[in-house]
Amino acid sequence: MLELKDRIALVTGAAGGIGFEIAKAFAEAGAKVVLSDLLVKEGTEASERLNAENLETHFIKHDVTNENEWVDVISEISDLFGGLDILVNNAGIIIQKPLNETSLEEWRRVMAVNLDSVFLGTKIASQEIMKRSANSPISGSIINMSSVAGIVGIANNSSYNASKGAVRLLTKSNAMEFSDPSINIRVNSIHPGGINTNMIKNIINTSIKETGATEDEVRSQLEQGHPMQRLGIPEEVAKVALFLASTDSSYMTGSEVVVDGGYTAS
DSSP characters over 40-94: HHHHHHHHHHHHTTT--EEEEE--TT-HHHHHHHHHHHHHHHS---EEEE-----
Q: Is 116 in the site for ligand NAD (CB under 6 A)?
A: no
Nearer to ligand NAD, 17 or 165 (CB): 17
Q: CA quadruple 15, 21, 23, 28: dihedral positive or negative?
A: positive
> Exposure string (b/e) for 198-225, b if CB count within 10 Å is 16 or more?
ebbeebbebbeeeeeeeeeebbeebeee
Region from 24-32, 119-127, 177-185, 197-205 binding ligand NAD, contact rule CB under 6 A? 197-205
Region from 99-107, 134-142, 196-204, 207-215 binding ligand NAD, contact rule CB under 6 A? 196-204
Q: How many CA atoms lie within 13 A of 215 on its CB side?
A: 4
CA distance 203 to 174: 31
Which of 73, 195, 218, 257 is close enough to bind ligand NAD by CB under 6 A?
195
Q: Is 17 in the site for ligand NAD (CB under 6 A)?
A: yes
Name which of residues 123 to 152 contact ligand NAD (CB under 6 A).
Answer: 145, 147
Count the site residues for ligand NAD by CB under 6 A.
28
Name which of residues 154 to 193 contact ligand NAD (CB under 6 A).
Answer: 192
Nearer to ligand NAD, 145 or 183 (CB): 145
* Pairing between β-strand 86-89 and β-strand 8-12 as defined by DSSP bridges: parallel
CA distance 204 to 198: 10
Kindly state the smallest distance separating residue 26's Cβ from ligand NAD, in Å: 15
Q: Is 219 in the site for ligand NAD (CB under 6 A)?
A: no
Which of 88, 199, 241, 245 is close enough to bind ligand NAD by CB under 6 A?
199
Nearer to ligand NAD, 77 or 113 (CB): 113
Name which of residues 225 to 254 contact ligand NAD (CB under 6 A).
Answer: none
Contacts of 40 (CB under 8 A, 6+ apart): 59, 61
- 263 has catalytic annotation: no
Nearer to ligand NAD, 29 or 237 (CB): 237
Kindly state the smallest distance separating residue 203's Cβ from ligand NAD, in Å: 7
Residue ranges in contact with ligand NAD by CB under 6 A = 12-13, 15-19, 37-39, 62-65, 90-93, 113, 145, 147, 192, 194-195, 197-200
Q: Which residues are catalytic?
A: 160
